[in-house]
Structure 1
C-alpha cells in the first residue's frame, strides 16, 4: 500500500510539474500604470488567459514609454512583448531619432504581431467657447500638458496651422483638464489616447464639449493617419469627427518561437470582439490597420494572417 501511494504521489507531482512546464509565460510591457494603455495590457492579459484556457499567462509590466520598450529588446528573452509606434522600430533599426548613436543588432530582430488601439488626437473645446474648427482656437486658452505624445503633437499642430502666437497655453498638467474646463479656467485641452478616451468622456458628460473635426487638407498636412470617430461616441456628438492618429502595435522579436507568436496573434483576434464588449476602444481595431505597419511581421503572425486571408505586403513578410 505504501509503495502504491508513493507511485500515485510521484505521478501526481510529475503531472503538476509537466502542466507548469507546458504553460506559456509572456511579459507584456506597454505604459505607465493608470493610463489607458496599461489598462489595455491588463485586458489583453485576461483575454489571453481566457482564450487559451490558462495555457498562456501574460504578466503586465509598467513602462516609462515607447522608447524604453524598444531599448529593452537588447536584454530581453523570447517571452518579451511590447508596444510602440512602428516608426520608433524603424528609427531603432536605423539608429535614428532617439536611437541616434544607440544602434544595436538586437533591434533588427523586432517583429510585429498585431495592432492595438491607436493614439488618437482630440482637440476638446467647451461648448461655451463656440469653437468648431482649428481656426477657431485663435484667442482661446488651451491646455496641452507636457511630456506626452498629445502635448508634442498638439504643439506641432499649433505651429503647422499658424496658431502658436494666437492661443494662450495654460500652465497645468493634463490631469487637471476636466476641472479647469468646468471652472472656465481654460477653453479647451488637447489629449491623445485611444478612443473613446476616458478624460473626454468625462468632460463631455460633465461640461458639454465639442471635439474639433479636421478637414482632409489639414489631415494631409500633419502627415498622420486619418481616423474617424463615429457619431455618438461622446455625449452630444451628433456627427463623425475627422482627426489624426498614430498607429501603435504589439511587437515581439525573432527570439520568440513561431508557435508562440502564432498563438498570441490568433488568440488576440479571436478574443478582440469579446474585449470590445467591455472596453469599446478594442472595437476600433481591425485587420485593415495592418496595411500601415511598415515593419516586418513575426513569421508566426504571418502564418495566422495567411490562414484568415489577410493580404500582406512583401515588406511585411
Structure 2
C-alpha cells in the first residue's frame, strides 16, 4: 500500500541523540496508482502541515497487506503500515496466509488509527431494481483476483444467485465503458467511498447502487456500513452495504511520543484531508470498534485526552 517517511525534530524520537536530528518513519500501504496509495500522499502532506513542517514524508509502494504485516519481522520502531485488522489477528494466531509463518514479532503489533474502509459497491444500470434478486439473468463484471471480486462472488452465492448471473470475462478497469456501452448490466467494486470508478460511472450514465437488507448484511458476516445519500450523482437514498475495515499499525518498538504525535496529528488534520478527498469523511470514532487490536500506549494517551472511546479489549 504506501510508504511514508516522517522527519521528526524531537530529540527523543527513536533514540535521537541530538536536537533537530531527522528521523524517518516508514508508512507502507499499497500499490502506486491505488486509492490507498493516494491516501498515503494526502496523509503525508497532512502530517507535514500538522507539525508545522517538522515532519517530512516520503512514500514507498507496497505489494499488499500481507507483505506489510510480514515485514514487521525485520522492521524496527520506524515502521508504520496499513492492513485489515483480520490480517493482524491471523498473523498473531499463525492462521490463514500466516499458517506456518508465525513470529514473536507479530505479538508486538499495535494500532494507531483507522483509515477509510474497503466498501462493497454493486453498481447497476439505472433501470435495475434496487435489490439483489434483480441480478438474476444479468451480466455482471466482478474483475479478477481483487478483494471486491472475491467478496462479490461470495455474496452472489450467499444470496442464492450462484449460476443465475453471467460473469463478464473482463478486467475491472473496463467496467465503466462496458456499463455505458451496454455490454454489461453492472459491476462490483470495493473501494473507499466515494470510489473513483463509481464516481466516473455515475457521472457518465445513470446508475443504481444496490442496498442490502439487514438480513443480507448479517449473512455476509462483514462490517455494516452506510454510503450516505448524495455520495454519487443520482444517489437519492442511503445505501446499506458492507466493508472491510483497514487501520494503520506500528509495533511496540515505536516510542510513545512519536505514536502520540502521529495519532494526534491524524485526527486533527482529518477534516482538512476530507476537504481534498471525501473518503476521509468515512473515518469516524465509531471505526475504533473495528480495529480489533491492542492500541499503542502513545495512541491511547491521545484518545484519553480527546475523549475518544477505545474498546476495553484494545487497551
Question: TM-score w.r.t. structure 1 length?
Answer: 0.92
| Partner Cα distance (1:58, 1:92) in 2 | 28
Does the 8 A contact of 2:288 with 2:311 survive in 1? Answer: no
Residue aligning to 1:273 = 271
The separation in 1 between residues aligned to 2:306 and 2:20, in whole angstroms, is 31
CA distance in 2, matches of 1:131, 1:144: 19
1:312 shift after superposition: 2.1
Deviations 1:208-255, CA, capped at 9 Å, x for gaps: 110000001100111111111111110011111011111100000111
Distance 1:210 1:234 in 2: 10
- Report the aligned-residue RMSD: 1.2
**Where in structure 2 are there 5+ consecutive unaligned residues?**
1-16
SS at match of 1:262: helix
1:271-310 to structure 2, matched below 5 A, reads: 271-310=269-308
> How far is the alpha carbon of 1:288 from its aligned partner?
1.4
* Higher Cα radius of gyration: 1
Secondary structure of the residue that 1:166 maps to in structure 2? coil
Runs of 4+ in 1 over 4 A off after TM superposition: 17-20
**Which residue matches 1:103?**
102
Matches within 5 A, 1:221-240: 221-240=219-238
Match of 2:31 in 1: 32
Task: Report if aligned partners of 1:24, 1:55 keep a CA contact under 8 Å in 2.
Answer: no
The aligned residue for residue 139 of structure 2 is 141
Per-residue deviation, residues 145-174 of structure 1 (Å, max 9, x unmatched): 011110110011011111120000001110
String of CA shifts for 1:7-57, please: whole Å, max 9, x gaps.
xxxxxxxxxx96651x34221111111111100000000000111112222
Following superposition of structure 1 onto structure 2, how do residues 150-165 of structure 1 map, counting pairs within 5 Å? 150-165=148-163
Gaps of 5+ in 1: 1-16
Question: How is 1:106-125 mapped onto 2 (pairs within 5 angstroms)?
Answer: 106-125=105-124
Report whether the alignment pairs 1:192 with 2:186.
no
1:213-224 paired onto structure 2 within 5 Å: 213-224=211-222
- Number of residue-to-residue matches in the alignment: 299
Pairing of 1:35-74 with structure 2 (within 5 A): 35-74=34-73
Looking at secondary structure, tell me which structure has more helix per residue: 1
| Aligned position for 2:11 | none
Q: CA deviation at 1:63?
A: 1.1
Matched position secondary structure for 2:24: strand
Q: Which residue is equivalent to 1:261? A: 259
User: Does the 8 Å CA contact 1:230/1:241 hold for their aligned counterparts?
Assistant: yes
- Whether the 8 Å contact between 2:109 and 2:250 is mirrored in structure 1 is yes
Distance in 1 (CA, whole Å) between partners of 2:297 and 2:19 is: 27
Q: How does 1:79-94 map to 2 (within 5 A)?
A: 79-94=78-93
